[in-house]
Structure 1
Amino acid sequence: MREEELSPGEPAPRAREPVFLLPGSVSALAIILVLIQFASTMVLNPDGQNMLLYWFAFQPLRIVASLTDPSLALPLLWTPFTHAFLHGGWEHVLINVAWLVIFATPVARRYGTVGMLSLFLVSAAAGAAFFAATTLLEGVYLVGASGGIAGLTGAAIRFIFQPVLVAHHPETGERLVLGRRLASLREVFANPSSRYFTIVWLVLNAAVPLMPAVIGAQLGVAWQAHLGGFIAGFLLVPLFERRLA
């Protein structure tokens, strides 16, 4: 290792700032989503794309079909999670990646890679469950990371609007920044910022099934997955909380 000496009065060299400030786990997840979309559109032919949907997208009808043919239930072991890595088009995946970057970043910084990915996958599965509750006999597929990202959004709402906690070292008096405390459910709705964000987010998604009566067309948005994922992340995030010293 090379060592250098600085002359008296010579300023120390500044550390190189990273080009991207995203946590590595968030960057990796975003890249994986984009690469899967690239492979599915640029590498697979139509038959291959159909097989990808069949084996890795979530289809609630399989739950009913498996009552007569149990072998049809096999993909239900993984599709509640794997559907989150597939998308219906480039616009779909790019919007989800942008939303992922915004809300996965604070969650990853607070809970680490394992915590962020766990919340993402659990919320994706919860979104799939909500989707199945309303589309059980329709034969439709669910794809997209929206449910998992909604869960990260719900988790982040529990702390990003809270004030920063500051303490002082008992011996040196040094000012120590402890971070933001996880808010209770009451505190979330007592804080105007988190209250309005949560209410607006829930109302907008709950209103999606009513939009055809207003605009005369289906939006093609899996609002059930959004709601299920958000509620899961919102309620389950305390399980990942680290107590502040």
Structure 2
Amino acid sequence: MSHKNDPAGHGPESRKREPVFNLPNVVLAMVLLMVAIQVALDSLLPRAAVLEIYLQTAFIPQRYAVSMAGQAGPYLWSPITYSLLHGGYAHLALNCFWLAAFGAVVARRIGPVRFVIFWLLSALASAALFLIFHWGDQSIMVGASGVVSALMGAAARFAFGDGGGFRRDRAHLNERLSIAQSLTNRTVFGFLVVWFGINLLAAVGFSFGIADSAIAWEAHVGGFLFGFLAFSLFDPIGHSQSDAY
């Protein structure tokens, strides 16, 4: 599609001047928050305090198989706070990379307030599916991977466009595809196959070189399905004529 008029300043010259890392403020704020938390946990706080923080804020399925008495706070907030913690700098860096890639286009699309609400609800959705598969056990889940997966699912509804192309500076302006249209879009369908294929490998035990921790593929799938299926509830821009599907 050609654009003769470019009032938003997205012409060739503006693209040359565009910074490589041009993140929306809300995405940058989330990255900085997670980095600050990781630095504090890794370098500033005593080990006993770090262990207590993980106990109180990580998502632990066993918490929900016993009485809520005596753990009301963590019972309520850990399905969200776990998304801000990470198992180390490598885990954090990977999530921040994908957050910058997919979170940026979604944030430009829906704005900062909806983005924060989307983050909270996608964290809950990710934790919910993880809980179903791990009810009552002592697994400890941390990381923004479920939220990032939800952002990937949301981006799949609009970022590739009808023609399958992707332009980082304009992807947020594309028309939203219905679920049916997304599934028949070759680029989107290919993206879905690759994404679910990778998580299927994780489900059967392939570690992708991550030696010290299991991949919470259940949280990834829960987040992705939430983002893909529920994105229209957050989208303030255009929609397709068959968006009910």
Q: Same fold by TM (over 0.5)?
A: yes
Question: CA offset at residue 211 of structure 1?
Answer: 2.5
Distance 2:76 2:233 in 1: 24
Structure 1 residue ranges without an equivalent (≥5): 1-13, 165-177
The Cα of 1:18 is off from its aligned counterpart by: 6.7
2:112 corresponds in structure 1 to 113
Amino acid of the residue matched to residue 28 of structure 1?
A
CA distance in structure 2 between the partners assigned to 1:134 and 1:194 by the alignment: 27
What SS does structure 2 have at the residue aligned with 1:205? helix
Deviations 1:61-120 (A, max 9, x none): 011122xx6223431211100000000001000000001000000001110011222222
Query: Does 1:210 pair with 2:204?
Result: yes
User: What is residue 31 of structure 2 aligned with on the other side?
Assistant: 30
| Corresponding position of 2:97 | 98
| Corresponding residue number in structure 1 for 2:138 | 139
Query: Counterpart amino acid of 1:55?
Result: Q
Separation of aligned partners in 1, 2:47 and 2:81: 20
CA distance in 2, matches of 1:91, 1:218: 12
Stretches of 4+ aligned residues off by more than 6 angstroms: none
AA in 2 matched with 1:188: S
Query: Which structure's CA Rg is the greater one?
Result: 1
Equivalents in 2 of 1:156, 1:209: separation in Å?
Answer: 24
Deviations 1:35-85 (CA, angstroms, capped at 9, x unpaired): 11001011112111110111111111011122xx62234312111000000
Residues 67-106 of structure 1: pairs in structure 2 closer than 5 A: 70-106=69-105
Structure with the largest fraction of strand: 1
Aligned alpha-carbon RMSD (Å): 2.5
Native 8 Å contact 2:64 2:136 kept in 1: no
Q: Distance in 1 between matches of 2:18 and 2:39?
A: 27
Question: CA 1:45–1:105 in 2, change beyond 3 Å: closer, same or farther?
Answer: same
> Aligned residue for 1:55?
56
Q: Which residue of 1 aligns with 2:188?
A: 194
Q: Displacement of 1:191 after TM fit?
A: 0.7
Contact 1:62 1:73 in 2 (8 A): no
* Alpha-carbon separation, structure 2, partners of 1:123 and 1:52: 22
**CA distance in structure 2 between the aligned counterparts of 1:30 and 1:63, rounded to whole angstroms:** 29
Q: How many equivalent pairs are there?
A: 214
1:184 equivalent in structure 2: 178
1:235 to 215, 229, 238: 229
Q: SS of the counterpart of 2:139?
A: coil
- The answer to whether the 8 Å contact 1:212/1:219 transfers is no
Q: Which residue of 2 aligns with 1:4?
A: none
Contact 1:116 1:152 (C-alpha < 8 Å) held by counterparts: no
In percent, how many aligned pairs have the same letter? 35
* 8 A contact 1:65–1:72 mirrored in 2: no
TM-score normalised to structure 2 length: 0.80
Q: Which runs of 5+ in 2 are unaligned?
A: 1-13, 164-171, 240-245
In structure 1, distance between residues paired with 2:237 and 2:34: 32
Secondary structure of 2:126 counterpart: helix
